[in-house]
Amino acid sequence: MNELTDLRNKLLSSLGAIQLGNGFYTAAGNNVRTGWFDEVIQSEQASSPVIVVQRGKNGIPQMDAGELVLRIGYLIVGAVNVGLDDYESALDDLEHDIWSALCKRGTRNIPWAPFGAYQLEFDEPLTAPPGGGTQWASLAIPVTFKIIINRHE
């Protein structure tokens, strides 16, 4: 398996650990999907809460000390469909869980990521309340991983 697939699989696994039994506030780990957020929530199988991992904007690749370093971007979208009265608390719980799953306390590296992934960067998160024809409230967190790629030469 290549490093990019391994990184994506381990990101999904880390988010899949969001379970009440693991000390999280939600069981969103039971509903981690890949694809495009709009398509996932429009599917008949969409349930709340949901976490959708979709590819995001990649950074500029670079050569560093002879190694090829890629900056692989994802957009992690957490969403809840609980109505207009309770969406803020439900979205707060889900946001807390996503941050907790991504950023393990007391570590300087990314303990759940594959060998070669050495930096996790965040961009400004965006939130959207229900409205515009949807009952879903959502939070989008752009993340970028720096990962060393093994080249076949």
* Residue 74, domain CATH: 3.30.2000.10
Give the structural domain span for 60: 3-149
Phi-psi region of 35 (alpha: psi -120 to 50; beta: other; left: phi over 0): left
Question: What is the overall mean pLDDT for the chain?
Answer: 90
* Percent helix / strand / coil, the chain, rounded to 5: 30, 35, 40
d(CA 70, CA 60): 7
Peptide bond between residue 49 and the one before it cis (omega within 30 degrees of 0): yes
Within 7-95, strands assigned E span 32-34, 50-55, 62-64, 67-80
Within the chain, strands assigned E span 32-34, 50-55, 62-64, 67-80, 117-122, 126-128, 137-149
| Section 66-81 average pLDDT | 94
Of 82-86, 90-94, 96-100, minimum mean pLDDT range: 82-86
Q: How many domains does the chain have?
A: 1
| Section 92-103 average pLDDT | 95
Q: pLDDT at residue 109 above 80? A: no
Q: pLDDT at residue 58 above 90? A: yes
Of 69-73, 86-90, 113-117, minimum mean pLDDT range: 113-117
Q: pLDDT at residue 96 above 70? A: yes
